[in-house]
Structure 1
Amino acid sequence: MGLQVYVVGTLQAIGVNGGIHRFWTHRAYKAKWQLRVILLIFYCIAGMNNPFEWVRDHRVHHKYTDTDADPHNSNRGFFFSHVGWLMMKKHPEVIQKGSQIDMSNVMADPIFIFGCKYFLILNIVFAFLLPILIPVYAWNEIWSRAVMSQILRYVLSLNFAWSVNSAAHMFGSKPYNTQINPSENRLVAFMAYGEGWHNYHHVFPWDYKAAELGDYKLNIVTMYIDLFAKIGWAYDLKQPSAELVKTVLRKKGDGSHWSIVSEANNKTEQ
Structure 2
Amino acid sequence: MIPEAEYPESELKKYKILISGDAASKRDSSLRYAQEYGGQTQVVKVKKTVKKIKTTNTASTILRRHISERSWTLRNWYRHIHWKNFTLIVLCPIVGLTLCLSYNTRPCKQTLYFAALLHVFTLMSVNLLYHRYLSHSSFSIENEKLVFVLAALASGAGVTSAKNWCSSHRAHHRYCDVSDKDPHNIRRGFLFSHCGWMILIHNLKVSKAIRESKLDELPNKKAVKWQADNYHLLFITVGLMIPSLVCGWFWNDYLGGLIYAGFLKTALTQHSVFATNSLGHTIGTRPYNDGKSPRNNVLLNLITLGEGNLNFHYEFPMDYRNSNVWYDFDPTRWLIKLLCCLNFVKHLKKTSNSTVEMSYVQQQQKLIDNKRSQLNWGIPIEKLPVFSPDEFRRLAEKSKDRYLVVVSGIIHDITPFAKDHPGGLPLIKAAHGKDATTAFNGAVYQHSNAARNLLATMRIGVLGGSEILFWKQQRIENKSVPIDNDTDGNKIVRSGAQETMNKVYGGTADAA
Determine if the TM-score, normalized by the shorter chain, exceeds 0.5.
yes
Q: 1:192 aligns with which of 297, 301, 304?
A: 304
Change (3 A) 1:94 1:34: same
Q: 1:141 aligns with which of 234, 242, 252?
A: 252
Say if 1:168 and 1:198, in contact at 8 Å, map to a contact too: yes
| Residue aligning to 1:168 | 280
The percent of aligned pairs where both chains have the same amino acid is 24
Q: Quick one: distance in 1 between partners of 2:265 and 2:173?
A: 28
Does residue 26 in structure 1 map to residue 132 in structure 2?
Answer: no
Larger radius of gyration: 2
**Unaligned residue ranges in structure 1 (runs of 5+):** 257-270
- After TM superposition, the runs of 4+ consecutive aligned structure 1 residues lying more than 3 A away are 253-256
**Unaligned residue ranges in structure 2 (runs of 5+):** 1-110, 368-512
| Residue aligning to 2:163 | 52
Q: 1:204 aligns with which of 301, 316, 340?
A: 316
Q: Quick one: distance in 2 between partners of 1:134 and 1:198?
A: 36
Q: Specify which structure has the higher proportion of helix.
A: 1
Shift of 1:254: 8.1
In the superposition, the TM-score normalised over structure 1's length comes to 0.88
| Residue aligning to 2:239 | 127
Shift of 1:255: 8.8
Q: Quick one: distance in 2 between partners of 1:173 and 1:229?
A: 31
| Residue aligning to 2:52 | none
Does residue 15 in structure 1 map to residue 125 in structure 2?
Answer: yes
| Residue aligning to 2:212 | 100
Shift of 1:250: 0.8
| Residue aligning to 2:198 | 86
| Residue aligning to 1:65 | 176
Does residue 158 in structure 1 map to residue 297 in structure 2?
Answer: no
Say if 1:169 and 1:181, in contact at 8 Å, map to a contact too: yes
| Residue aligning to 1:264 | none
The DSSP-based 3-state class of the residue aligned with 1:100 is: helix
| Residue aligning to 1:268 | none
Shift of 1:105: 2.2
- Letter of the 1:8 counterpart: L
In the superposition, the TM-score normalised over structure 2's length comes to 0.48
Shift of 1:38: 2.4
Q: Quick one: distance in 2 between partners of 1:110 and 1:127?
A: 22
Where do 1:220-259 residues align within 5 Å?
A: 220-253=331-364
| Residue aligning to 1:183 | 295
Q: Quick one: distance in 2 between partners of 1:212 and 1:114?
A: 35
Q: Quick one: distance in 2 between partners of 1:186 and 1:144?
A: 35
Q: Quick one: distance in 2 between partners of 1:38 and 1:148?
A: 24
CA displacement 1:181-219 (0-9 Å, x = unmatched)? 000011111001111111101111101113323447x21
Say if 1:13 and 1:221, in contact at 8 Å, map to a contact too: no
Change (3 A) 1:198 1:155: same
- Letter of the 1:24 counterpart: L
Q: Quick one: distance in 2 between partners of 1:73 and 1:239?
A: 28
Does residue 6 in structure 1 map to residue 77 in structure 2?
Answer: no
Say if 1:15 and 1:44, in contact at 8 Å, map to a contact too: no
RMSD: 1.8
Q: Quick one: distance in 1 between partners of 2:360 and 2:219?
A: 35
Aligned residues: 254
